[in-house]
Amino acid sequence: MIRPVRTDVEVATCVRIADAVEPHPVRFDLLRQVKERLFLDERGGYAYINHSSIPKSAFAMVRVHPDARRRGIGSGLVQAAAESARSLGKESAWGEVKPGDAESLRFVEARGFTELSRDVELTRRLRPGDGHIGEGIVELREEDRRGAYEVTVAAVPDMVTAGQAEARPYDEWMKEELANAAVVFVAIEDGCVAGYATLQLGAEPKRLEHGFTGVRPEYRRRGIATALGDAQLAWAAERGFEELTTTTGVTNAALRAQKAKLGYEERPGPILVRGPV
């Protein structure tokens, strides 16, 4: 009953399931890009499994339509996800449970997953004239790419996530980090890229999602992350977007303070879980 996704019709089925579960619409083109990592149970569920920034741990997501639950679909997809993670050479898998979803948390805990941490969701409503692009903040240029990647290498290990993360290889970073970005801003200090930040298009036309924001350790505590965030506000507001959103760990006091300074509002975010495969 569970099989790898091969066709656009099967991708569209995954989108319909996701739209019944997720708080925001899911883009068909984004799922289509990763269809080789999708598994479908046509009774009403799908799973996504892929490499992650955490060595030896895959990112896994299982979604079951609310009308199809308690039929063993989720259990079968978790098993398929574990098998796929092992085929990628992984020893564990991690994923997210929505805030307040005690039933799903009990479901994954019964299958060997444990809670690692909790996130907060940060949202900023935009108004015309918001933000400011300051001196030294520019959109990513060809000559900035290597410097931006060096920021990733330096900053990713410090990220609050489901384990000790490390940067992806340069070619993967180019494909996954930059290709789907709506805009990438870099901060230039002393002639080098001191930090960068991305915004990603979501399924809703007036809403953008924050991707990566990172600053080299030697340039931190100088307001660079705030300046990058301010530039993102200006860019998005000027183009008629209405909302920016992101999530971060509850323990990430620095980012929460930086976003509060820029006017973001907080609410509970997903719960991170991990288990052996």
257 assigned to some structural domain: yes
Q: Residue 78: is its pLDDT beyond 90? A: yes
- What type of residue is 214? G
95 assigned to some structural domain: no
Q: Is the pTM of this model over 0.95?
A: no
127 assigned to some structural domain: yes
Strands across the sheet containing 57-64 = 2-4, 38-41, 45-50, 57-64, 92-97, 265-276, 114-125, 243-249, 207-215, 192-201, 181-189, 137-139
Q: Residue 175: is its pLDDT beyond 90? A: no
Specify the number of domains making up the chain.
2
| Matching residue, tokens 């992101």 | 246
Q: Tell me, what's the pLDDT at 160?
A: 63
Shared domain check, 168 and 76:
no
Least reliable range by pLDDT among 85-89, 143-147, 201-205: 201-205
Shared domain check, 267 and 133:
yes
pLDDT digits (tens, 9 = 90+) for 214-239: 999 999 999 999 999 999 999 999 99
Confidence of residue 162 (pLDDT cuts 50, 70, 90): low
Structural domain for 227, as ranges: 123-271
Shared domain check, 245 and 128:
yes
pLDDT digits (tens, 9 = 90+) for 190-220: 999 999 999 999 878 899 999 999 999 999 9
Confidence of residue 163 (pLDDT cuts 50, 70, 90): low
